Amino acid sequence: MKRGCIIWLIVGVIFALIVFGIISWGTKAYNHMVTMQEGVTSQWGNVETQYQRRADLIPNFVNTVKGAANFEQETLTKVIEARAKATQVTIDPTKMTAENLQQFQQAQTELSSALSRLMVVVEQYPELKATQNYRDLQVALEGTENRISVERRKFNEVAQTLNTYIKRFPQNVIAGMFGFTAKPYFEAMPGAEKAPEVKF
């Protein structure tokens, strides 16, 4: 073989190895992004499950409270309306944006506020608070609120893992080519940093 042919053969082999290495790395990076994206989607399902659990408990809670004589109908109506609004706001986790997550969080916060007001009003009805059904539902709601907090924290963790990975170079090139986007985080609502004022 001529020396020129050998050099071109070596260059061709090196080029083929480089191309193979790039394709291999790109495939591995893409597959890793798909796995993390599915982790975010799965965790979002866990968040929604806990919010749905709370929404499912509320009608029983409202019906239990309704049984109290002369209970404020306006408070119950606000809880029912807030629940209806909260269950209407849904998010496709593959198309999640900061704006639609904020809308979702706002609707859930309004429901939490309505429930809090209901709990305050219930304090005026000791006979209602003494019933076993009310106590069981209150415990179930409190447990669900804790589960919601845990699942939201876990969602933020998996979203952060995905976001960090797809923003790093050179993965950001693959992410851009295949449409992987950063996911928003659950954040505290404005004013949450202020301690509530307690008056006696």
* Confidence (pLDDT) at 197: 45
Q: Residue holding tokens 């106590």?
A: 135
* Confidence (pLDDT) at 200: 29
Interatomic CA distance for residues 186 and 40, integer angstroms: 13
Q: Residue holding tokens 């749905």?
A: 52
* Confidence (pLDDT) at 106: 92
Largest separation between any pair of C-alpha atoms in the chain: 103
Output the tens digit of pLDDT for each of the chain's 200 residues.
677 788 888 888 899 999 998 999 999 999 999 999 999 999 999 999 999 999 999 888 888 887 765 667 788 888 889 999 999 999 998 889 999 999 999 999 999 999 888 888 888 777 777 788 888 888 898 899 999 999 999 999 999 999 999 999 999 999 999 999 999 998 876 554 444 443 32
Name the residue ranges covered by the structural domains of the chain.
3-178
Interatomic CA distance for residues 49 and 32, integer angstroms: 26
Interatomic CA distance for residues 53 and 145, integer angstroms: 10
* Confidence (pLDDT) at 39: 95
- Backbone dihedral angles phi then psi of residue 17, each to the nearest 5 degrees: -65, -40
Q: Is 87 exposed, middle or buried (0-12, 13-18, 19+ CB in 10 A)?
A: middle
* Confidence (pLDDT) at 198: 34
* Confidence (pLDDT) at 164: 96
* Confidence (pLDDT) at 71: 63
Helix, strand, or coil (residue 91): coil
Q: Residue holding tokens 């306006």?
A: 74
Q: Are 107 and 86 in contact (CB under 8 A)?
A: yes
